[in-house]
Amino acid sequence: MTVTEKLVFQLLSGTMSVLGLLSPPTGRFLGKVLGRIWFCFDKKHKRITLNSLGHTYSKKMSFQTRWKLARKVFENTATMLFEHARFHRMPPHDYGDFFEVIGIHHFKAAQAKGRGILCFSGHLGNWEQAVAVAHLTGVPFSVVYKKIESPVMEAYLKAKRASTGCNMLPLHNALDGIFATLARGEAAGLIVDQNSRKRHHSVFIDFLGRKASANTGLARIALDSGAPVIPILTYRKNNQTYLEFFPEIPLIKTNDKNADILANTQAFHAVIESNIKKYPDQWFWIHNRWKTRPLEEI
């Protein structure tokens, strides 16, 4: 980083450290205020959010209800800023005070198989805090992440994520790192619910009522390695943050690998989809999940 970027990094770190002193109720209040301001002025992402909610819920919700839900999405996303600041002021041994942890026995059962563990998550609740699993489980954990163009934000987020005990694997060239992680009997995690623009690395699945382009990497690695696959999701309920480990997803493995990749990718996303339906205001609808369309729709 340049000298200016280093100064900005220090300013950002200091600001977040101060925000971390705020009480949870104050953070939720400020998140709501900031989210409403963001919702008013960010017309591009408001349009994306309302359009996606319209495709999914137009037959179940009035436009007014969808509009309120979209605003709530912005409020919840802004609240993540204050949760992030408070979370990263905690020493790792206090992570259990931040979360209500559910289903960790599913993770332990997968670990006992001795083939490493493949974990996946989605942009639900406060997904950034899912990196706490390294300390909560006591199992070394490698997380695949996409680099950010801003050198300051890249350095800041990488440092904060690594401070939880996770090993960070850049998306580019992550494959070798994942297989090495599994070979050591450790866990590797990926977030899988974003739009995939690379058609040769994706399949179209059914997701929230529409065809969505999904990366096939997780399914391919699972089929090649035989590692058990465990979903991990975060969500909020009654002002409490939950981190839930779900049961292992049985792999579909036949003599048709392409069909298996599609079927398993669909099964992984079905878990995320069912939880989005439970907490629709906590998913990242702001992202244009359905941007890449099947060729027959172009």
**Per-residue pLDDT tens over the stretch 128-145:** 888 888 888 889 999 998
Query: pTM for this one?
Result: 0.93
pLDDT bin (cut points 50, 70, 90) of residue 21 is very high
Range(s) of the domain holding residue 264: 3-297
What's residue 150's pLDDT?
Answer: 87
The pLDDT > 70 percentage for the chain reads 100
**Per-residue pLDDT tens over the stretch 49-90:** 999 999 999 888 999 999 999 999 999 999 999 999 999 888
CB 195 within 8 A of CB 291: yes
**Per-residue pLDDT tens over the stretch 134-175:** 888 889 999 998 888 888 888 888 888 888 888 889 888 899
Residue 212 pLDDT > 90, yes or no? Answer: yes
The span from the CA of 261 to the CA of 244, in Å, is 25
Mean pLDDT of the chain: 93
Task: Give the number of domains in the chain.
Answer: 1
